Structure 1
Amino acid sequence: MDRRELAAFLRSRRERITPADVGLPAGPRRRTPGLRREEAAQLAFISTEYYTRLEQARGPRPSREVLAGLARALRLSDAERDHLHHLAGAPPGPPPGPSREVRQSILDLLRRLPQAAAIVTSATYEVIAWNDLAAALMEDFSALPRRERNLVRRAFLGPHRQGLRLYGLSDVDAFGHASAQHLRATAARYPDDPEVTGLVGELLRGSAEFARLWASHDVSAAPTLIKTFQHPLVGPVTVNCDVLSITDRDQRVVIYTAEPGSRSEEALRLLSVIGTQRMEVTEG
């Protein structure tokens, strides 16, 4: 345990957080930058005396529970959380759960792809960001509750739109196979995350096909490079599918583009004009 470095690190992380960041009033007599020690301690569910001793390099080695509370209270990134554990002499365990926070640069990238439909998925296949064309091609994800944005849940458990399973994808069975394999690897990376274990349990109970694929213990799948969506307004749209990994967030950017000069390219152009007006179409 490196007490001096740990103390300096905690102090630097505390001072960068404003009271407003954690829903606390600034108050007229605040003289120090960031949070007060007692506020950080309260957020971490430890005593002010204990936290003060840590910042003064006099504290005992924190337990993993205390380190988890500090990481949460000080809003540490995954890299900062790992650093905190190393300073405390307690090697970090697995991440608490898949990240759902998308970097601003990735959000900007999605907006800069007006001729391509693009989404970002988490390690559990939840759609966590998308551009306008993706919403027009697939679904207006902003209108869906969070659980319905999960593509692997939709592939195996529905609901279906316009009588089509998962947007009428031509390779929906192959997608289901690949997603089950990837989800098994995700479950190994986040063994204690309740959302991951809950999703797996729900799929095992609700889908015999998923249970069969899960029992195979496969964890890799060949990528699908071409997909066809059955769209209720413009008909079939065939696109190239490219997947870019964001390794530090355990996320993926999925980009759909049509061949230049093809009918599908014209369909995407039409969808960029129609937008999500298709959501008003009566479902058959």
Structure 2
Amino acid sequence: MTESSRRSSRSELAEFLRSRRARVRPEDVGLSGGSRRRTPGLRREEVARLAEVGISWYTWLEQGRDIQVSEPFLERLARALRLNPAERAHLFELAQGRPPPRLAITPASVSPALQRVLDVHPFPGLVTTPRWDVVAWNPPAVILYGDYALRPPAQRNILWSAFTSPRTRLRTEPWESHARGLVARFRLDAGRAADRTEFDALVAELSEVSPEFRRFWSEHDVLETAEGVKSITHPEVGVIEFEHVTLTHSEPDGRLLRITLYGPRPGVSTTRARKLFGAVTR
């Protein structure tokens, strides 16, 4: 980033903070509004107190001075100013020149619109959280992986299934290389999380029940890929090669989710997939 760009970002950040501060009513954050306030919103010292930072430091930031700020401070500031997910991301972009850490929020469901889009996809589709918890699926996914609704919520997880489900292991070829790739991608996602607590808990549980996971995890490999090819063996039709892509989706409430869509490769895989999923697709 050039010096001119940095100055522009600092100026924009200063104006953004002032506008967000003016928008928050004292009553919204547990403070007394009083009758002697000459301007709307919070005072600088109130924002500083809520964000647990010195008044001078916050004032410099709001004045557009060239100071370095940490991720924990920006997270506290976002909460103090009651920023929505888009505003939080904008704050990080202006202050640090990069997106904020990804939040690992596990939703109970997805929006009706997303579920409808998923349901009309003729082949398997899954919606997962950044921690790979499965929160939505379509009928073809049930045929391929089983009904996630019948599993305990804590076990509706891609990584957990890969290492603890005999059905998943039997149907995935070659299982070991696929499992190694999953572990490497999961490690990368864990490193990006704003809070690793849920990720580390899953790692600890899998390390207890799966020696293979424990061994793969200790290798510290990382991998990033949003698409690939996966071979699944189904007892009714045989091997189907699926191409898959993963798309990032923000729900209306700001939760970050991933949509993974599968499509059979042309030829015999397409023929077998149409036979397998024909009864549940429209």
TM class by shorter chain equals: 0.5 to 0.7
Asked whether 1:148 is paired with 2:155, we answer yes
What displacement does 1:142 show? Answer: 4.4
What displacement does 1:201 show? Answer: 2.4
CA gap 1:82/1:239 in 2 versus in 1, 3 angstroms:
farther
CA gap 1:81/1:6 in 2 versus in 1, 3 angstroms:
closer
CA gap 1:184/1:245 in 2 versus in 1, 3 angstroms:
same
Residues 119-145 of structure 1 show CA distances to partners (whole Å, capped at 9, x for unaligned) of 133443322432233234323334544
Distance in 2, matches of 1:154 and 1:174, equals 15
For 1:84-99, list aligned pairs within 5 A.
84-86=94-96, 95-98=101-104
CA gap 1:4/1:186 in 2 versus in 1, 3 angstroms:
closer
For 1:203-282, list aligned pairs within 5 A.
203-220=206-223, 223-230=228-235, 235-236=236-237, 238-246=239-247, 251=258, 253-257=260-264, 259=268, 262-272=271-281
Distance in 2, matches of 1:246 and 1:262, equals 26
**TM-align CA RMSD:** 4.7
Distance in 2, matches of 1:260 and 1:63, equals 52
Residues 190-218 of structure 1 show CA distances to partners (whole Å, capped at 9, x for unaligned) of 48521122222222232211122223333
Distance in 1, matches of 2:77 and 2:15, equals 14
Which piece of structure 1 moves more, 124-133 or 205-214?
Answer: 124-133
- Number of the residue aligned with 2:168: 166
What displacement does 1:8 show? Answer: 2.9
CA gap 1:84/1:71 in 2 versus in 1, 3 angstroms:
farther
Residues matched between the structures, number: 241
CA gap 1:17/1:99 in 2 versus in 1, 3 angstroms:
farther
Q: Percent identity?
A: 24
Distance in 1, matches of 2:19 and 2:244, equals 37
Distance in 1, matches of 2:247 and 2:22, equals 29
For 1:58-207, list aligned pairs within 5 A.
64=70, 65-72=72-79, 73-77=82-86, 79-86=89-96, 95-98=101-104, 109-113=117-121, 115-142=122-149, 144-156=151-163, 158=164, 160=165, 164-166=166-168, 168-171=170-173, 172-190=175-193, 193-207=196-210
Q: Which amino acid aligns with 1:228?
A: T
Distance in 2, matches of 1:146 and 1:17, equals 37
Q: Which amino acid aligns with 1:110?
A: L
Unaligned regions of 5+ residues in structure 1, if any?
25-34, 274-284
CA gap 1:13/1:240 in 2 versus in 1, 3 angstroms:
farther
- Number of the residue aligned with 1:9: 16
Distance in 2, matches of 1:14 and 1:76, equals 16
Distance in 1, matches of 2:152 and 2:182, equals 21
Distance in 1, matches of 2:206 and 2:196, equals 16
Q: Which amino acid aligns with 1:165?
A: R
Contact 1:118 1:256 in 2 (8 A): no
Q: Which amino acid aligns with 1:95?
A: P
Contact 2:184 2:222 in 1 (8 A): yes
Contact 2:120 2:281 in 1 (8 A): no
Distance in 1, matches of 2:178 and 2:270, equals 27
SS of equivalent residue, structure 1 residue 69: helix
Q: Which amino acid aligns with 1:116?
A: F
For normalisation by structure 1, the TM-score amounts to: 0.61
Contact 1:225 1:242 in 2 (8 A): yes
Q: Which amino acid aligns with 2:140?
A: L
Unaligned regions of 5+ residues in structure 2, if any?
1-6, 31-39, 250-255
For normalisation by structure 2, the TM-score amounts to: 0.61
Distance in 1, matches of 2:106 and 2:238, equals 29
Distance in 1, matches of 2:170 and 2:141, equals 14
